[in-house]
Structure 1
């Protein structure tokens, strides 16, 4: 799989770029800067990036079948209109919003929305992975995994049989048997564990799965995207020219353009001088396409 054409398509200088989502109807990439906080709409055909500011941190979102978005904000799960404006809170964050916010999330093939939280002090293991059950009149969050520091890397296998997610500070990617018909999942098992070193603290952040069932993980503080085979072994490594890639997503008409968000928050002045494109949006072509991103269905 060629990676020589990896390049910065948008010098966004995002503080914490995350959650890229390709919209095949509009042929644009939506993404967020969690700390700005804002939802972005990037048109690769024109290079124009529209910014929709939000009143609180936005960790993740999915496109809605009927337009607009469902999103995990600091305060809970919300619906947003097409310009990113909050419409209604569907469920409150059950954790302490002073030290917790929603982080990574997405929909399964049936249109159910899943979202995890981050334990910002990273001290108590108080973060969770949740499934949202309910529709526009409100709903509830069902905890699927507890005791996490940063719920991340949520993705589903192409056949819907597996749910993947990671706990970034613990350098671990988990896998669970999944039933797309019911939304139920089995016990969590360690699928891949990364061994850090003093020189390499790269750890699994946001992710995407391709059409062959391979799991692509952005390695925060690792300057790379790693493609894992379905058995959890490393298949390929793709260098990224900044320290903190955060998440990847497949886009373009053929779903063979891999977009990669990055971050610059918390990096030293010296590092940012050496890496002026930190916080930018990168892209590269892949031989294997990704999967179309499911949309949230209020009836799911």
Structure 2
């Protein structure tokens, strides 16, 4: 695999592939397709891919002591790939009608942060939550947006990044402790182009890689928000990325085909597939939710 040249490694044709997670103990890449209520797995050693049926439309997953903590609709639960059994953990209460969980990730203290959104993508009804290791759920003080995406932190844990997709902005906050967010600011914007910022990942140099929906590209931003590198993709709707491989120098990219016209799908035969590319700077090691 050549440096910075994306290749399709799993032609899965997901409607909405997203939330890629690398499992270092297994050497496997996991991701979900909430449109079809599927879990996907890719083994880079064998190049084989596998698909699992899920009892919920999981939008985000993370590792948790040999199982997968997943969130979707308005609930969180555990999925054990070895038995294919799902156990509901928590159902969210008090959310506006039509809301659903859209994104999430593990914070430096190993709590799980996640956000809800309006399922119709019409109103700013999002809310942010923190699932503590003791399974208590607490609200976070992030502003409401129409579509939130991305949960990632700087290497020192002092900056939290997320995306306001509709406004085409990547936001940064000071992360002072396990709950407090302050000094909200625009880290980067994609308004000069056609793309919308979606899922992100951070590398060891503190640079943020972002998948640009409808932009057909990945963008690497330096810690000051300046564009460092642009990688073009052969499909227009990348949704997220994560680092994997033994050296964490493989960047995996999930993509979508939902909403594409027949002509667009003919021009993008690998839309909805999993891509991978080699990068120079390794990513940060992934975190697991510690509340299993």
1: CA distance, partners of 2:205 / 2:4: 22
1: CA distance, partners of 2:94 / 2:50: 32
Match runs of 1:64-79 below 5 Å: 64=64, 66-79=65-78
> What is the TM-score of this pair, normalised by structure 2?
0.93
CA contact (8 A) 1:38 1:51 kept: yes
Once the two structures are TM-superposed, the CA of residue 183 in structure 1 deviates from its matched residue by: 4.0
RMSD: 1.8
Q: Counterpart in 2 of 1:154? A: 151
CA contact (8 A) 2:214 2:236 kept: yes
| 1:176 equivalent in alignment to 2:182 | no
1: CA distance, partners of 2:203 / 2:283: 4
Which sections of structure 1, spanning at least 5 residues, go unmatched? none
Q: Counterpart in 1 of 2:95? A: 95
Q: Counterpart in 2 of 1:275? A: 268
1: CA distance, partners of 2:124 / 2:205: 33
Paired positions, count: 290
Q: Counterpart in 1 of 2:123? A: 124
| 1:212 equivalent in alignment to 2:205 | yes
Is the partner of 1:272 in helix, strand or coil? helix
Distance 1:93 1:13, change over 3 A: farther
Match runs of 1:189-200 below 5 Å: 189-196=185-192, 200=193
1: CA distance, partners of 2:144 / 2:107: 23
2: CA distance, partners of 1:141 / 1:151: 18
| 1:222 equivalent in alignment to 2:215 | yes
Q: Counterpart in 1 of 2:184? A: 188
Distance 1:94 1:218, change over 3 A: farther
| 1:85 equivalent in alignment to 2:85 | yes
Once the two structures are TM-superposed, the CA of residue 163 in structure 1 deviates from its matched residue by: 0.6
Once the two structures are TM-superposed, the CA of residue 140 in structure 1 deviates from its matched residue by: 2.0
2: CA distance, partners of 1:132 / 1:284: 32
239, 246, 251: which one aligns with 1:253: 246
1: CA distance, partners of 2:157 / 2:200: 16
> What is the TM-score of this pair, normalised by structure 1?
0.91
Q: Counterpart in 2 of 1:20? A: 20
Q: Counterpart in 2 of 1:113? A: 112
Which sections of structure 2, spanning at least 5 residues, go unmatched? none
Distance 1:70 1:143, change over 3 A: same
| 1:232 equivalent in alignment to 2:232 | no
Once the two structures are TM-superposed, the CA of residue 134 in structure 1 deviates from its matched residue by: 5.2
The runs of at least 4 consecutive aligned structure 1 residues that moved more than 6 Å come to none
Once the two structures are TM-superposed, the CA of residue 90 in structure 1 deviates from its matched residue by: 2.4
Distance 1:85 1:201, change over 3 A: farther
217, 222, 235: which one aligns with 1:242: 235
1: CA distance, partners of 2:85 / 2:91: 17
2: CA distance, partners of 1:247 / 1:218: 5
CA contact (8 A) 2:201 2:210 kept: yes
Match runs of 1:40-59 below 5 Å: 40-59=40-59
Give CA-to-partner distance per residue, 1:69-115, whole Å, 9 cap, x none.
2221112222222355321222415423x522111111012211011
